[in-house]
Amino acid sequence: MFFKDFYQGFWITEPKGNNAFSFQERQNKRIFVAPLIRGDLHDLEGGQESVFSEFFEGQEINKKGLKVFVCLKKADKHIFIFDNHNHAFFFWLVGLKEGLIKQNLTLLHVDQHKDTRKPSKYLDFRPTDIDLQEAFRYTNDILNVGNFLSSAIHSSIFSKVEFLDNEESFSRDYAPDYILDLDMDIFADEMEYIPYQPKIDKLRSLIDKTRFITIATSPYFMEQEKAIKIIHELFSNNF
């Protein structure tokens, strides 16, 4: 798993990527990106470093994320669990490069946000010639939690994106052969209008039918302890 060498734990100290939000207004000028390990669900725990900082309504908000990002391989499933959602872009490119996923599949994007703001620039590449070093820099320096999906759409990683962000979308059936992208903020307090158990049941069903899953614990929008607890519940029937 050579690609984990990119994620060894590091600080972003310049106003780039997720650290660009309200950079001038904040006292805290750095955020942490956790190391990636090969592990299992028991390795998920909250970290002690700020991974997302924002200045909102006159108050500085510093949120802690995960202690480590976790890559799981269970049977035929490849699962990446991380905190800030933009890291999904890098892991999708890893999936393409390693032959774990095919280009032009459908993405099921389960999230209370669209994440389709336009980044300052797009990353151009061929699926047969992906430079992971360049992709890693792009993911952390250019992308943030609000624009990474636009880059994936622009790059034609996926042929179609289905947004699961309301009660009706959770009641639909989805064609097989998809990639599942889950933001745990779908379980945030403001999303409680979608009943909890139907969400759990639907996501368990979707997990069963795919081989590649990315999961963001979304520290700015979701308490990490709650996110980790629900992840364990989602996979209790699988692992």
Asked whether residue 2 carries a pLDDT value surpassing 70, the answer given is: no
Residue 6 lies in a domain: no
Q: 155: which 2 tokens? A: 């790059």
CA distances from 96 to 90, 104, 113 (A): 10, 10, 25
Domain annotation covers residue 9: no
Is residue 16 situated within a structural domain? Answer: no
Task: Write down the mean pLDDT value for the chain.
Answer: 95
Dihedrals φ, ψ of 165, to 5°?
-140, 15
Residue 27 is assigned to a structural domain of this protein: no
Tell whether 50 is covered by a domain: no
pLDDT one-digit tens code per residue, 160-198? 999 999 999 999 999 999 999 999 999 999 999 999 999
- Domain-located, residue 77: yes
- Structural domain boundaries, residue 207: 69-234
Q: How many domains does the structure of the chain reveal?
A: 1
What number is the average pLDDT over the span 104-121? 97
> Would residue 38 count as lying in a domain?
no
Residues 51/11, Cβ–Cβ less than 8 Å: no
Q: What is the dihedral of CA 65, 30, 145, 133, to 10 degrees?
A: -100
1 has a pLDDT exceeding 60: no
Predicted local distance difference test score (pLDDT) of residue 126: 80
Q: How far is CA 72 from CA 37, 82, 131, 200, 209, in A?
A: 9, 11, 23, 20, 16
CA 198 vs CA 58, 107, 152, 194, 230: distances in Å = 38, 20, 29, 8, 13
Give DSSP secondary structure letters for 136-193: HHHHHHT--TTTHHHHHHHTTSEEEEEEE-SHHHHTS---SSEEEEEEGGGGSGGGTT
* Rounded (10°) CA dihedral 126, 130, 134, 135: 90
Q: What percent of the chain has pLDDT over 90?
A: 91
75 — pLDDT class (breaks 50, 70, 90): confident
Q: How far apart are CA 157 and CA 126, in angstroms?
A: 10
Of 126-130, 174-178, 203-207, 221-225, the least confident: 126-130
Whether residue 45 lies inside any domain: the answer is no
Q: Is 58 exposed, middle or buried (0-12, 13-18, 19+ CB in 10 A)?
A: exposed
